[in-house]
Every structure is written in structure tokens, then in C-alpha cells.
Amino acid sequence: MSTKIRAAITAVGHYVPDKILTNAMLEKMVDTNDEWIRTRTGISERRILENGATSDLAVPAVQNLLKNRGIGADEIDVIIFATVTPDMFFPATACVLQEKIGAKKAWGFDVSAACSGFVYAIALGAQLIEAGTYKKILVVGADKMSSILDYTDRNTCILFGDAGAAVLLEPSSDPNYGIIDHKLYSDGSGGDFLYMKGGGSLNPPSHKTIDDKLHYIYQDGKAVFKVAVVGMADVSEEIMKRNNLTGADVDWLVPHQANLRIIDATANRMGLDKSKVMINIGKYGNTTAATIPLCLSEWWHAGKVKKGQNLVFASFGAGYTWGAVYVKWGF
């Protein structure tokens, strides 16, 4: 009789660059104001990586994780790197990271699912562990959003920041703990509302793509808001129902940090008090694939995540992509 192998998160780590871009600083760059940004989004400031690339946000996050777990990079089997701001189209940023940290025996690849990149990546990683094939999987979410923002466009430049964070997945020593369930969705019809059209095979880089600002994020905020607020709440409710969880059973909602109003709506639908919601959007803005592991790592370092707690991760992003993950914390 074979026993089910369950994947568990066994370590976390994160990194944010030192440079802070405040709402007051943005007021001098575009026609906006602190009050509008705070009340519409919940953001007060965000971090900016001045020198370096997305892999440089991941390296210190992973080094922090390895130190917490007390293992070397050479013990990692697989690197799954969620990002929409890869260092380059290829090689994969997972390979760049592998070289930078010295994860000699690992193989790896990137996942492009925008703000849902981390939930997609952790669901994939969990299944590689459950299959019994690998024992140490690094799941990274990192984005240097400042590299694709138009700092003359007030609709987008106020929303995003730079950060990197990671979790380690290993077979759980007790199958009652770990990644219990996940549910992922895509809807390609959302592609018209949130995108970066330049640089790929559709619009290879040219003077025209630069003049037309195709190398920057475009978002129809209102259109995305309407589906995000429903999508993130729906999938969170779905994962709770599938696992017979009520609001009282959930210890932490770990939501993607795109907009405080979307987070509040999701928590309301789940019947959760705000004290059970990880929120750091005020300090970092939307760091895309990094938001969920960044919350996890900050809360864990603060001693607020404890063995046996029920956590629900929830996200919504470009694609559209969305999903939720149910974790029983195991360490």
C-alpha cells in the first residue's frame, strides 16, 4: 500500500530593495495625489531596484531562505521561477538564478502567469513533490516591475513595485500538513485589458514599438477591477467549500496585493476578520509574482505563522489568470 506524499513549505525568504518611492515623490512626477492613491489602492510607498535585474531580487531572498532552512544551494533539485519581468527572454531567469546561487544539481524553468505566477508555480512544484520525483523545490516569485512601467502614466506607475521572495517545497514528514489543495484558472479573453504588447514575436522591438510605448504595461484598471474582485473572491470561496472550511477555520488569507479594495472584498466573502488577512500593499504596492511569498515570509519572520494554521493563498492577474491554494502550515 503506498502512502500519499504531500508537499510542504519548509522555508521562506524575501528581499526588497532599499530605495523607497513614496506617493509624495510620485506627485512630482505625474498628476496624482497621495489621498487618491491611498483611498483607491491602499498604497503609500513602493520599493525600486535601481541597479540589477529580477534575478538580483531573487538571490538575496533565496539566500535568506537557505539560511533559515540550514541547507546549501547544491541541495536544490528544481527551481520554478514565476515572473513577467525575466532578466531576458532566454535563458530562463531560473537558470540565471541557478548560476548565481550555485544550485549545481538543479534544473529549472520560468512560469509566466503575471500576478498569479506564484500560485501557478507552487501548484506545479507541489505536484513534482507528490509524484515522488524530487525532494527540494525552490519556488520563486520576483518582479522588477519598475523596468516595464511608464513613469508618465498615472494609471499604472503608482500601482507597482519591485521585490523577490521564495518558498522551499519538500515532502512533508506528516501528510496532514502541507499543500492540501489548489484550484487554478485562465481566461484568455482578458488579454485585451492588461498587457505589454512590445518585444515579443508579435511586435518585435523597433523604433516604432518604442515610440508607441509598447514596452510598457497597459491596464484598463476599471475593467480589470470588476473581474478581479469577483474572481479572487469566487476562487477563495470555492477552495474553502471544497475543503469544508468556514471563515472560523481559516487563520490567514494571503491575498495577492493589487488593490486593498479587492483584498477586503475577498476577505468579506470568506467571512474573515481583517486581523486574519496578510496585508503589506501599503509598503510595497503590487510586486506581481512576489506579493504572496513576500507576505508569507514577512509574517513568518515576525513569528505570526504557526504550525497547524490554515492558510489560503488567492490571486488574480493578467491573462486573465487566477487561483487559490490551501495550505496547512507545517513548521
Strand partners, 28: none
Q: Which residue is nearest to ligand COA (CB)?
A: 221
Active site residue 295: no
- The pattern of x and - marking residues 71 through 110 that bind ligand COA according to CB under 6 A reads ----------------------------------------
- Tell whether residue 207 is a contact of ligand COA (CB under 6 A): no
Q: If 0-12 CB within 10 Å is exposed, 13-18 middle and 19+ buried, where does residue 4 land?
A: exposed
Nearer to ligand COA, 66 or 314 (CB): 314
Catalytic residue among 95, 286, 295, 310: 286
The nearest distance, CB 118 to ligand COA, in angstroms, is 12
Strands (E), the chain: 7-15, 19-22, 45-48, 78-82, 107-111, 137-144, 162-171, 178-186, 194-195, 218-219, 252-255, 310-317, 321-328
- Is 286 an active-site residue? yes
Burial class (CB in 10 A: 0-12, 13-18, 19+), 297: buried
The stretch among 67-75, 198-206, 217-225, 273-281 that binds ligand COA (CB under 6 A) is 217-225
DSSP string spanning 55-76? HHHHHHHHHHHHHHHT--GGG-
The correct pick among 172, 259, 287, 297 for binding ligand COA (CB under 6 A) is 259
Tell me the CB-side half-sphere exposure of residue 306, using CA atoms within 13 A. Answer: 5
Q: Which residue in 155, 186, 243, 280 binds ligand COA (CB under 6 A)? A: 155
Q: Which residues are catalytic?
A: 115, 256, 286
Residues that bind ligand COA (CB under 6 A): 32, 36-37, 40-41, 115, 154-155, 158, 221-222, 224-225, 228, 258-259, 262, 286, 316-317
